[in-house]
Amino acid sequence: MNNELRKVLLHDRFLSLIAEKIETGKRISISDGLKLYESHNLSALALLATEKRKQINGKFVFFNKNFHIEPSNICIHNCRFCSYRRNVNDTDSWDYNISDMLDICKKYYGKDVSEVHIVGGVHPNRNLDFYCDLIVEIKKILPDIHVKAFTAVELDYMIGKANLTAEAGLLKLKEAGLNSIPGGGAEIFDRKVRKQICHQKSDANTWLKIHKTAHNLGIASNASILFGHVETYMHRLKHLELLRNLQDQTHGFNAFIPLKYKKNNNAISETGEVNDIEVLKNFAVSRIFLDNIPHIKSYWPMLGKNIAGFALHFGADDMDGTIDDSTKIYSMAGAEEKNPSMQIDEMVRFIKKTGFIPVERDSVYNKLNVFE
């Protein structure tokens, strides 16, 4: 335990016990996590989370060169927190065919980019073959690109529509060229909260089963939480516990992404948004609790660059990627970054300014360039 942390914890017995657990590699409990959430000692939370992230990742902060494809915002579900979803005939809906999406990929031919991230609405008229064909065609244009695609909710629908098991459907996608899957669609696992905010969507058990199946097939994934709406601290902690338990079994999660609920243009806007202190507190608790998930992602297109930078001092060690203004999911909900894009040199300067060492990574966190 460093001297700065010792001074801050001098008169706080509980946080001192948490520090001892972190120092000795002991796992914190849900009751510990609840006390951390309820603590008003923000500087201590930052130091504790930083101590944990140092054990795992030193002073490195990771990023990659990526772009997004969002095939459609037409969706069979009508989640109450969602600002992105549209009906088929809405004037601001979009529905890309394979040719449209390949045109996006062609813009990156010959460019230094390592990942395409593909997520969208659960489209009623798209099936598993459509998405397999899409991946095959993308790899013809960008043969070395890592395809990270389709939330568990999208996968549940397309695989179910094909009357296949999760294993068979994921194998088919893997054979087409799928490399990993993102963490979206998790929201909050609690059944009652889910009924309140996304009652039509695949349930928690389905989400966890799909990720577990993917891990067992050698398909890595991320995990996420949508926080700051109607849930409680206990709902968040039980969500984290389910992820931690699955990671103990499979070791397949690369990163965890805390996603802040944004209030604009959705059915639960009256709940408002949590403040930045709560956002940073959530990062700290996530880092300390999820001792077996190696990376915590500070998703700057959603948080805004300033808070994303602060989150690096509360346990986060990953800034996602350069994005290249290719996602609308959070801008439609009122995110601070309306046209999210960062050049490599800007990303490197930004991370260095926060006091960390920038590392360009691939999609599974192999280090490609370290910017000392």
Structure confidence by residue, pLDDT tens digits, 56-92: 999 999 999 999 999 999 999 999 888 888 988 888 8
The parent domain of residue 42 ranges over 3-52
User: How far apart are alpha carbons 209 and 189 in whole angstroms?
Assistant: 13
Residue 338: pLDDT above 60? no
Instruction: Based on the fold, state whether residues 118 and 184 are members of the same structural domain.
Output: yes
Given a contact cutoff of 8 angstroms between Cβ atoms, the answer to whether 22 and 288 are in contact is: yes
Instruction: Based on the fold, state whether residues 13 and 106 are members of the same structural domain.
Output: no
Residue with structure tokens 């905010």? 197
Is 243 domain-assigned? yes
Instruction: Based on the fold, state whether residues 278 and 146 are members of the same structural domain.
Output: yes
Q: What confidence category does residue 326 fall into, taking pLDDT thresholds of 50, 70 and 90?
A: very low
Instruction: Based on the fold, state whether residues 40 and 116 are members of the same structural domain.
Output: no
| Phi-psi region at 265: left, alpha or beta (left = phi > 0; alpha = psi -120 to 50) | left
Is 57 domain-assigned? no
pLDDT on residue 337: 46
pLDDT on residue 10: 67
Is 70 domain-assigned? yes
Instruction: Based on the fold, state whether residues 66 and 42 are members of the same structural domain.
Output: no
pLDDT digits (tens, 9 = 90+) for 257-309: 999 998 888 889 999 999 999 999 999 999 999 999 999 999 988 888 899 99
User: How far apart are alpha carbons 18 and 249 in whole angstroms?
Assistant: 25
Is 76 domain-assigned? yes
Residue 239: pLDDT above 70? yes
pLDDT on residue 241: 98
Instruction: Based on the fold, state whether residues 105 and 13 are members of the same structural domain.
Output: no
pLDDT on residue 1: 59
Q: What confidence category does residue 334 fall into, taking pLDDT thresholds of 50, 70 and 90?
A: very low
pLDDT on residue 327: 54
Average pLDDT for residues 124-152, to the nearest whole number?
97
Instruction: Based on the fold, state whether residues 154 and 35 are members of the same structural domain.
Output: no
CATH of the domain at 190: 3.20.20.70
Instruction: Based on the fold, state whether residues 313 and 270 are members of the same structural domain.
Output: yes
Name beta bridge partners: 321: 64
Q: What confidence category does residue 343 fall into, taking pLDDT thresholds of 50, 70 and 90?
A: confident
Q: Which of 193, 295, 276 is nearest to 234 (CA)?
A: 193
User: How far apart are alpha carbons 196 and 210 in whole angstroms?
Assistant: 23
Structural domains in the chain (count): 2
pLDDT on residue 194: 96
Burial class from Cβ neighbours inside 10 Å (0-12, 13-18, 19+) for residue 334 reads: middle
Q: What is the DSSP letter of 27?
A: P
The three-state secondary structure class of 257 is strand
Instruction: Based on the fold, state whether residues 221 and 203 are members of the same structural domain.
Output: yes
Q: What confidence category does residue 335 fall into, taking pLDDT thresholds of 50, 70 and 90?
A: very low
Instruction: Based on the fold, state whether residues 105 and 28 are members of the same structural domain.
Output: no
Instruction: Based on the fold, state whether residues 37 and 70 are members of the same structural domain.
Output: no
User: How far apart are alpha carbons 191 and 195 in whole angstroms?
Assistant: 6
Is 359 domain-assigned? yes
Is 269 domain-assigned? yes
pLDDT digits (tens, 9 = 90+) for 161-193: 999 999 999 999 999 999 999 999 999 999 999
Instruction: Based on the fold, state whether residues 141 and 33 are members of the same structural domain.
Output: no
pLDDT on residue 325: 58
pLDDT on residue 222: 98
pTM above 0.85, yes or no: yes
Q: What is the DSSP letter of 31?
A: H
Q: What is the DSSP letter of 26?
A: P
User: How far apart are alpha carbons 91 and 94 in whole angstroms?
Assistant: 8
